[in-house]
Structures are given as structure tokens and as C-alpha cells.
């Protein structure tokens, strides 16, 4: 796992041992950031189920103003802290150790929110519902939902604007409903 572009390009990130945690693959991440081109510089970002910090650190590398990293797993946050310690002059970031529900109930407004929970859990759709019901996205903001199947249905307050498939990974993009 590495940083693909920006000021930390090529930086190898610490990862988890075993198969319990599934970080976003480099090729999926590269495609994702090609889609997000122009949306990251100066953005405020929430990496809700951050794991190792792979997506949020990529945002810092590409010029995000601030990244809020959140995960309920203390083991994930230890890996995240190792990865953040490798950065030289990192921009502003915040780390919280909350359940996603608590995090979203205390969250600010963001330009970009990543939802990449463990695939085996159905909490990603619940997180989308909380974002749609709340006032968590700035005007023009996006939510990116990663999982192992296509998104079906609707989320009140959010509009599905795109979906891409990369191997077994689906990325679904939402914006605030007008």
C-alpha cells in the first residue's frame, strides 16, 4: 500500500497483518482519485472508517486542508498513527476513536466523506442515512461509499450520482439532494 500522488507520492504505508482488514487497493484508489480530480485540494475530509488512513493520507498528500480520521478500532488507529508519523509537515488532521454513529452525530460539515466499512457489516448504509438526514455535507460535497456490491435503493437527503466497479469493489458517489 502506497501513496499514489502529491507531496507524499511513493510513501509506503504500514498495513495490517492477516486478512481481517481490507484496505482500498492501490488500483481502486488511483481510479477513485482520478474521479475526484479537482475536489481534494483545499477540502475538508472525513475518513469515517479510516483503518490505516490510506484514503485520508492520500487526501493530505493531494492538498486537502484537513482530514478527520475516525475508527472504532484502536488497532486501526495505532497503524494510522504510525502512518501519520511518516509524513513530513503534515497538514491539519484530527483523530477520533468513535463508533460511526457517535462520530457522525458530533461531526462538522465536510467537502468529502469516505465510507469504507468492513464489507461483512451492513453499517455503511446506516452511515449514509445519517449523513443524508444530517447537515454534514457542504454545498458541492461528495460522499464515496465503498463496498463489494452495487448500491440499490435511495437515501433520503442524498442523491446517487455515479457508481463504478473495479474488480470486486464498487464505489458509489452521492451528493446532497437539492
Residue 36's domain is classified under what CATH number?
A: 3.40.50.150
Q: Of 119, 168, 164, 118, which Cα lies nearest the Cα of 144?
A: 164
Calculate the dihedral angle through the C-alpha atoms of 96, 101, 107, 113, rounding to the nearest 10 degrees.
90
Q: Is the pLDDT of residue 107 over 60?
A: yes
59 assigned to some structural domain? yes
Structural domain total, the chain: 1
Question: For residue 40, what are the domain limits?
Answer: 26-176
Q: Of 45, 107, 50, which Cα lies nearest the Cα of 76?
A: 50
1 assigned to some structural domain? no
144 assigned to some structural domain? yes
41 assigned to some structural domain? yes
pTM of the full predicted structure? 0.94
19 assigned to some structural domain? no
* pLDDT attached to residue 88: 79
* pLDDT attached to residue 73: 94
Q: Is the dihedral of CA 73, 78, 9, 107 positive or negative?
A: positive
**Rg of the chain over CA atoms, in angstroms?**
15
pLDDT band at 119 (very low <50, low <70, confident <90, very high): confident
Amino acid at each position: 500500500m502506497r501513496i499514489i500522488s502529491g507531496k507524499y507520492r511513493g510513501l509506503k504505508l504500514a498495513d495490517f497483518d492477516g486478512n481481517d482488514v481490507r484496505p482500498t487497493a492501490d488500483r481502486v484508489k488511483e481510479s477513485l482519485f482520478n474521479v475526484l480530480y479537482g475536489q481534494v485540494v483545499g477540502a475538508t475530509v472525513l475518513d469515517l472508517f479510516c483503518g490505516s488512513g490510506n484514503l485520508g493520507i492520500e487526501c493530505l498528500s493531494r492538498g486537502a486542508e484537513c482530514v478527520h480520521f475516525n475508527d472504532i478500532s484502536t488497532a486501526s488507529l495505532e497503524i494510522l498513527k504510525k502512518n501519520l508519523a511518516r509524513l513530513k509537515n503534515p497538514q491539519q488532521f484530527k483523530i477520533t476513536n468513535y463508533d460511526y454513529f457517535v462520530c457522525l452525530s458530533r461531526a462538522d460539515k465536510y467537502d468529502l466523506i469516505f465510507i469504507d466499512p468492513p464489507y461483512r457489516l451492513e453499517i455503511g448504509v446506516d452511515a449514509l442515512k445519517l449523513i443524508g438526514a444530517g447537515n454534514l455535507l457542504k454545498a458541492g460535497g461528495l460522499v464515496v461509499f465503498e463496498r463489494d456490491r452495487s448500491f440499490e435503493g435511495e437515501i433520503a437527503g442524498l442523491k446517487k450520482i455515479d457508481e463504478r466497479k473495479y474488480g470486486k469493489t464498487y464505489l458509489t458517489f452521492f451528493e446532497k439532494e437539492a
